[in-house]
Chains A and B, each alone.
Chain A
Amino acid sequence: MDAIAALMGGFAVALTPTNLALAFLGCLIGTAIGVLPGIGPMNAIALLLPFCFALKLPAESALILLAAVYYGSGYGGRITAILLNMPGEPAAAITTLDGHPLAKQGRGAAALAVSGIGSFVGATLSVVLMTFLSVPLARIAVGFSPADYVALIVFALSLLGAVAPGNAAKAWAAGCFGILLALVGIDSGTGVERLTFGSIELLGGVDFTVLAIGLFAIGEVLLLLERQMRASAASLGHGAHLSFRELVACIPAMFRATGIGFVVGVLPGAGASVAAALSYTTEKRIADKQGTFGKGDLRGVASPETADNAAQIGNLVPMLSLGIPGSGTTAVLLGALLMYSITPGPLLFTQRPEVAWGLIASMYVGNVMLLVLNLPLVGIFARLLTVPPWVLYPGVIALSFAGVYAVSNSPFDLLLATGFGVLGYVLRKLDVPLVPIILGFVLGRLLEDNLRRALSLSDGDVMALFASVPSLLLWTCTLAALVFPFLRRRA
């Protein structure tokens, strides 16, 4: 019952007027950026982060806002997927399979309603699971030694290659690159300048917001620029609205999807896209008796949308309890916490309960807000799709630069952000995943600190890294994750 008491404490934080307003704002922004193709939750959080910091929002308020943007985007992505046949955010890609056929049959409104309810069910049930599982998971890690942490971080990074859809070598190289970027600046242990190549501006290291805004916001806009966008939205349709019977028919699918989504989300490396795809194919195997999946089956919309939102919440569990983010967006959230000098991990729940439990409590509230926002107002959000790109993206870029400037007041950082933008564009073209760069960047210093601490304790004996049971287990998993992509290629 500890969890209930702690959760009540969390509600005391989440229900203050400021935090309620921030959660609401986050839900609005989240749904909106979920709708807009090309601006994902990662870009939006990267954009908002410097403002939270410059405005000196307390850590729990900033996290409540940023997390609301994150899970709110899961509600928005489906609108674009259903009406436009393109995903508003990556994880909504599967939703197009049945969602767009439904829209073309004039049942867009029904598809939007069932997916909105599915998103709510998946997210809320996952928050309940998170409430009870986070602390036990954190307890496992309380006893972790520095050597165990080294193994855990290496495992999390190696998994990126194993689950990435593309080339594993590219994912790992990106992770290493991210770690190296994190090392730029003065080494805390010895005071030696590393990888600054004589630049005074780089002495303090690369700022997290500069990297995130450059790679995601600016890089994405540059990629959009080289393609002419042609898309026309289907209307909400005038066909029959969602009936109660149809909704009931989708409930088993929603429960299955929540289970799949949450489990996939908790595993590091696998994100909401994987969960949505897995849930859809599973549901198709179980429930597609008449062969209606892919032609406009409501369950085919409910399943991936529920799994998407469940996985987003699941992703937060290892981030909060272990300090190891499971996806790119949670890595950005982790970066946000690190900017506040808060290290997530096993001690977060006891040392900063207002942050951990305030966030969890706010997610109960936020999902209710999102359901209320999304069912009646879906038409207004859909109208965002008619905003022309030449209005939208200049604003995005201007806001990006203003954010970078607000944090550092340095023209050098603006140039650096532009440079990372170009890099992000080139890497996207080369199909190099950007998420490992962010993960590597966020975990890099942590990895080195733990490694050096572990080897100090052992007087430089490397075997100390493999001395405990958890570390051996994790190294074995790492080995499996490193070998797996090569087996997969042959299969």
Chain B
Amino acid sequence: MRDQADRLLGLALVALAALVVWHALSLEVTFAADPVGPKAFPIAVALAMGGCGVLLLFRQGLIWEKAERILPGLAAVAAMAGYALLLGPLGFILATAALCLVIALAFSASPLQAAATAVVTAPALWALLDPVLDLPLPKGPLGF
């Protein structure tokens, strides 16, 4: 599979283009002020994109370079998604500290180093943004 990466990309582009064309054709336009309407342009762009995808199918292309480490990246993405969901309930400082902790660990910090990074970064960022720059951030159950 890894040596077919470009062809997979080509297939994905063709599929995405087909999806866009199907979607644009299914649009119901009741009123259009101009002769083009909202359909033609996305279809044209999607066809161009699909064409580029087809070009990619012809050649083998590059070989997907294997990651040296996979777990840190997965952990980071999970932490980011979790941050999006928990920012409201936990409040900015707690959620950001948790995020920083995971990212620091992913960058091979020792637990102590990661904890220190989290404990310093989150309040510092809050202090900069909320009181100094006056951008309101979500408050958690503890009031910060």
Contacts and interface: CB of A to CB of B under 8 A. Distances in A.
Given A390-B104, A418-B84, A167 B61 contact: yes
Interface string A421-434: 11001000111100
Interface in A48-86: 51, 54-55
Contact of A192 (B9, B29, B137): B29
Interface stretch (A14-22, A176-184, A372-380): A176-184
Interface in B111-144: 113-114, 117-118, 121-122, 125, 129, 133-135, 137-138
B9 A222 contact: no
A430 B20 CA distance: 22
Contacts of A406: 129, 135
Contacts of A399: 125
B48 to A, nearest CB: 5
B41 A218 contact: no
Contacts of B46: 176, 180
Contact of A390 (B31, B41, B49, B107): B107
B104 to A, nearest CB: 4
B87 A189 contact: no
A456 interface: yes
Given A167-B61, A169-B56, A177-B49, A421 B20 contact: no
A456 B67 contact: no
B36 A180 contact: no
A129 to B, nearest CB: 35
Interface residues of B, number: 73
Contacts of A222: 73, 76-77
Contacts of B31: 190-191
A54 B121 contact: no
Choose among A51, A176, A421 the residue with the greatest number of B CB atoms under 10 Å from its CB. Answer: A176
B80 A401 contact: yes
Contacts of B33: 189-190, 456
Interface in B54-80: 55-56, 61-62, 64-65, 67-70, 72-73, 76-77, 80
Interface stretch (A100-108, A225-233, A252-260, A471-479): A225-233
B52 A169 contact: yes
A228 B68 contact: yes
Contact of B103 (A397, A418, A455): A397
A270 interface: no
A395 B37 CA distance: 45
A187 interface: yes
A459 interface: yes
Interface in B1-40: 5-6, 9, 13, 16, 20, 23-24, 27-29, 31-38
B6 A430 contact: yes
A54 B132 CA distance: 13
B10 to A, nearest CB: 8
B41 A415 contact: no
Contacts of B68: 226-228
B137 A405 contact: yes
Contacts of B84: 401, 411-412, 414-415, 418
Interface in A256-296: none
A456 B34 contact: yes
B106 A176 contact: no
B137 to A, nearest CB: 7
B29 A190 contact: yes
Closest 4 CB pairs of A and B: A390-B109, A414-B84, A460-B35, A176-B49
Given A173-B13, A455-B35, 14 more contacts: A51-B135, A170-B9, A170-B56, A180-B45, A183-B42, A192-B28, A192-B38, A227-B67, A228-B69, A388-B107, A406-B129, A411-B84, A418-B84, A422-B77
13 contacts: A51-B135, A169-B55, A173-B53, A197-B23, A226-B72, A393-B103, A394-B100, A394-B103, A401-B87, A411-B87, A414-B87, A429-B5, A447-B41
Interface of B: 5-6, 9, 13, 16, 20, 23-24, 27-29, 31-38, 41-42, 45-46, 48-49, 52-53, 55-56, 61-62, 64-65, 67-70, 72-73, 76-77, 80-81, 83-85, 87-88, 92, 96, 99-101, 103-109, 113-114, 117-118, 121-122, 125, 129, 133-135, 137-138
